[in-house]
Amino acid sequence: MQILVTGAAGYIGSHACQRLLADGHHVVGLDNLHRGHITPMNLLAQQHPDRFTFIQSDLGDTPTVLAALNEHRIDTVLHFGALAYVGESVEDPLWYYRNNIASAIGLLDACDAAHDAKGITRFIFSSSCATYGDLPDDRIPVAEDAPQNPTSPYGYTKLHFEHILRDYATKRQRENNPIALTMLRYFNVAGSDRSGLLGEDHTPETHLIPVALNTALGKRESMSIFGTDYPTPDGTNIRDYVHVEDLIDAHVRAMNTIEIGQVEAFNVGIGKGYSVREILDSVKRVSGVDFPVLEGDRRAGDAIALYNDPTKIKSALGWDAQVTDIDEVVASAWAWFKANPNGYDD
């Protein structure tokens, strides 16, 4: 297949490019390099000079994206490119809506106009379990039919774009030119490529596991738990941490399984929740470093507990997490952090 990956230079997008290239596809990676890194793009281009093209562009730059879709005869778009911090979205919601919705509509305009207005064939959207917000206890673990009431602007950007995509798919259906649309609602993505080539390098870094690994490396003096008074067994938030390679495998399965005319949403998470304290214990165990952890205030926008009910994705896509031991997830991330203490350093 000929595949466009938006957000290709980011943590998850770069892992997606790597897997798609390993599977023999032609891949065009698009990224404005606002938060992505050129290094993984160069590494992948060196490995696959004939099948990988990187384009530096905003995904909302419709003419540039349209030219890329046509020139490379793209049939499938994997849309990862987005701002993705809950806390930051609370601080600056308009920035989040402009990037994650307005720019994404620019991408969709290009997808619609491509191939002499026939449009692309398959679209897979990185949505989020943040679209669910705080659910009643009887809705945890979370299935796809749970009510979606986000607790943050970030969550709303993902939910709104799901609606926009559904409306777009309906238009394509009405025009007898249907599209295959999959929305994957990620739980917390963690770990890195076990070949050691790619890793996770964000600026700023706010995600729990990388922050803890940076503290274990001594790059931070300490870190904080954001809230120890939640109504959970140890008082800290509970999340479902899915290994990035398993997450990408869900995309590959959706690409191969969801048929033209189908519109589907799947949760992607292992089906087990870990508290913040359990994650920190794992990081200390794996790294062998007992770093200082402070008990801080709650962070605005955080849901109390979220973990997946993987029944639907198991039965429809045959997907199941291969990495379910949290120490294994953390170990894959720790290996890259130790080998690259300054990240990609680009």
Q: Which residue ranges make up the site for ligand UDP (CB under 6 A)?
A: 86, 188, 206-208, 211, 223-226, 237, 239, 276, 299, 302
Least Å from the CB of residue 103 to ligand UDP:
21
Please identify, using beta-carbon distances, which residue of 98 and 298 lies nearer to ligand UDP: 298
Phi and psi angles of residue 69, each rounded to the nearest 5 degrees, phi first: -60, -45
Helix (H, G, I), strand (E, B) or coil at 164: helix
Answer for the pair 308, 240: CB distance below 8 angstroms, yes or no.
yes
What's the min distance (Å) between Cβ of 198 and ligand UDP? 19
Pick between residue 114 and residue 189 the one whose CB is nearest to ligand UDP. Answer: 189
**Residue nearest ligand UDP, Cβ-based:** 237
Q: What Cα–Cα distance (Å) separates residue 130 from each residue in 185, 240, 248, 257? A: 8, 12, 19, 25
**Can you give the C-alpha Rg of the chain in angstroms?**
19
Asked if 128 contacts 158 with a C-beta cutoff of 8 angstroms, the reply is yes
| Phi, psi angle pair for 182, to nearest 5° | -125, 130
3-state secondary structure of 318: coil
Nearer to ligand UDP, 180 or 225 (CB): 225
Name beta bridge partners: 223.
Answer: 293
Between CA 109 and CA 113 the distance in angstroms is 6
- Residue among 11, 154, 186, 230 flagged as catalytic: 154
Q: Which is nearer to ligand UDP, 20 or 86 (CB)?
A: 86
* 154 catalytic residue (yes or no): yes
CB atoms within 10 A of CB 63: 12
φ, ψ of residue 244 in degrees (nearest 5): -60, -35
Q: Give the shortest CB-205-to-ligand UDP separation in angstroms.
A: 9
Rounded least distance, CB 2 to ligand UDP, Å: 32
Task: Write the burial class of residue 45 (CB in 10 Å: 0-12 exposed, 13-18 middle, 19+ buried).
Answer: middle
Pairing of strands 223-226, 274-275: unpaired
Quick one: which of 209, 339, 324 has its CA closest to 278? 209
In single-letter form, the type of residue at position 95 comes to W
Work out how close the CB of 147 gets to ligand UDP at its nearest, in angstroms, rounded to a whole number.
19
Closest distance of CB 299 from ligand UDP, Å: 5
Nearer Cβ to ligand UDP (123/266): 266
Of 6 and 237, nearer to ligand UDP (C-beta) is 237
Which positions are annotated as active-site residues?
154
